[in-house]
Amino acid sequence: MNAPIFIGLMSGTSLDSIDAVAVRFEPTFELIASHNEPIPAAIHAATLALFNPADNEIERLGRLDLALAELFATAVNQLIHRHQLERADIVAIGSHGQTIRHRPEAHFTLQIGDPNRIAELTGITTVADFRRRDMAAGGQGAPLVPAFHSALFRHPKHNRILVNIGGMANLTILEAAAHKPVLGYDTGPGNVLMDSWIKQQQQKNYDREGQWAATGEVIPPLLQAMLALPYFSEAAPKSTGREQFNHAWIEQSLKALETQPKPEDVQATLLELTARSITDAILNHHLDDLQIFLCGGGSYNQTLKKRLTELLKPHSLTTTSDLNLAPDWVEAAAFAWLAYRTLNHQSGNEPGVTGAAGYRPLGAIYWGNSGV
């Protein structure tokens, strides 16, 4: 009999696509298959519109909740079909959902993509709503991926830091000493500001490999003003989102300049902001014999990767491909793992990361057709 399969779904802050993976955790971790489902322009636009307060939110949210669920289910069904997986071997889907609000200071977070509909359209048990139990226990509800990073990537001889660069950027600190707790937090913007600026200036969804940013020069007054934001100096646990790092913040920061800069210089500055905020956080931990691994879409931004390498010398910097899991699939695999943990009555959070009162099982279970 084949070891059970779990599917993970991840739709991040960047909203570029839905990542779907099929994995096994027994006897060891194995990535079986992966699939990338594009997000149609209409759903992309509708989701972006919900990030900021506006009229008729409840009606629009309800409709988008169903549309995203159908898209998540399509991603699962495409993954199964294209890789000829046996549906009977799949125990559960772990769906992160699409974050619409993340307000840890107000003790609430909201991810949509109705798991009832995912379970109905796939026939597979779906585990979702992972963040709110951690929040109920006094935590930030994020980041949740560090627990998975620890389970898969911790090394007994080397200190490691995993840097996930999605819309936001976050760290997982894995010290070699077994008694050291797992730490992690959001450092600030990953791709979100660069994506927003190039979308406005050039109608492109992202700056491929950081090519446009590479043509500009950093604007020191703008960079220093942005780095002065209190979030960057706050102690962990902490998490953030588009509520803080958004296009309005860019425009507000630009108004304080004496002259309006070239658009490419703004892009270069936004890239430097991401690089500096990540680097400052890493170096603040003062770890020796440190291995740094990038994952997420930002790991393919060659200009950003080059700058991080310069700022982090002499520490080594590479991607999770060197740990046998491509950067694209780490977060989706993490939510498959969280579903695996939930169905095995095990915790999914790291209190040292989120600030929760203790370890908690995460997520609600929506049974598939075999669950009745």
- Residues 160 and 287: their CA atoms lie apart, in Å, by 9
Q: How much of the chain exceeds pLDDT 70, in percent?
A: 99
Tokens representing 278 are 């990540």
Same domain assignment for residues 132 and 155 = no
Does residue 340 share a domain with residue 321?
no
Q: In the chain, how many domains are there? A: 2
- Which CATH number characterizes residue 157's domain? 3.30.420.40
The per-residue pLDDT for range 141-159, each reduced to its tens digit, is 999 999 999 999 999 999 9
- Residue 1 pLDDT more than 70? no
Count of residues making up the chain: 372
What's the chain's average pLDDT? Answer: 95
Q: Mention every residue, 6+ apart, whose C-beta is less than 8 A from residue 191.
A: 14, 165, 166, 167, 206, 274, 297, 298, 301
pLDDT at 3: 87
Helices 220-227 + 263-283 axis angle, to 10: 40
What confidence tens digit (pLDDT) does each residue in 313-322 have?
Answer: 999 999 999 9
Strands 126-128 and 364-366: antiparallel
Contact call for residues 244 and 167 (beta carbons, < 8 A): no
Is residue 296 scored above 90 in pLDDT? yes
134 and 241 both lie in a single domain: no
pLDDT at 48: 86
In whole angstroms, what is the distance from residue 166 CA to residue 164 CA? 6
Q: Counting Cβ atoms within 10 Å, is residue 203 exposed (0-12), middle (13-18) or buried (19+)?
A: exposed
Backbone φ and ψ for 183, nearest 5 degrees, come out as: -120, 155
Contact status, residue 152 vs residue 160, Cβ threshold 8 Å: no
| Cα angle: 323, vertex 326, 332; to 5 degrees | 110
Question: Which residues touch 91 (CB under 8 Å, ≥6 apart)?
Answer: 4, 5, 6, 125, 339, 340, 343
The dihedrals phi and psi of 239, each to the nearest 5 degrees, come to -150, 160
Cα 336 to Cα 7, 64, 125, 294, 342, distances in angstroms = 5, 23, 12, 20, 10
Distance CA 177, CA 155 (A): 9
C-alpha torsion 247→47→147→291, nearest 10? -40
Q: Does 263 lie in the same domain as 208?
A: yes
Tokens found for residue 166: 């999605």
Question: Is 297 in the same domain as 353?
Answer: no
Whether 56 and 100 share a structural domain? yes
Answer yes or no: do 304 and 174 share one domain: yes
> Do 39 and 93 belong together in one domain?
yes
Instruction: Please say if the pLDDT value at position 372 is more than 60.
Output: no
Distance (Å, whole) CA 19 – CA 12:
9
Q: Return d(Cα 111, Cα 129) in angstroms, integer.
A: 7
49 CB contacts (<8 Å, ≥6 apart)? 60
* Residues 43, 109 share a domain: yes
The answer on 15 and 37 residing in a single domain is yes
pLDDT tens per residue, range 199-254: 999 999 999 999 999 999 999 999 999 999 999 999 999 999 999 999 999 999 99
208, 97: one domain: no
Domain of 20, in residue numbers: 5-140+328-371
Last residue of a domain, one of 311, 327, 343: 327
Kindly state whether residues 153 and 301 are assigned to the same domain.
yes
Strand-pairing partners, residue 317, are: 292
Q: Is 12 exposed, middle or buried (0-12, 13-18, 19+ CB in 10 A)?
A: buried
pTM equals 0.94
Residue 239 C-alpha from the chain's centroid: 11
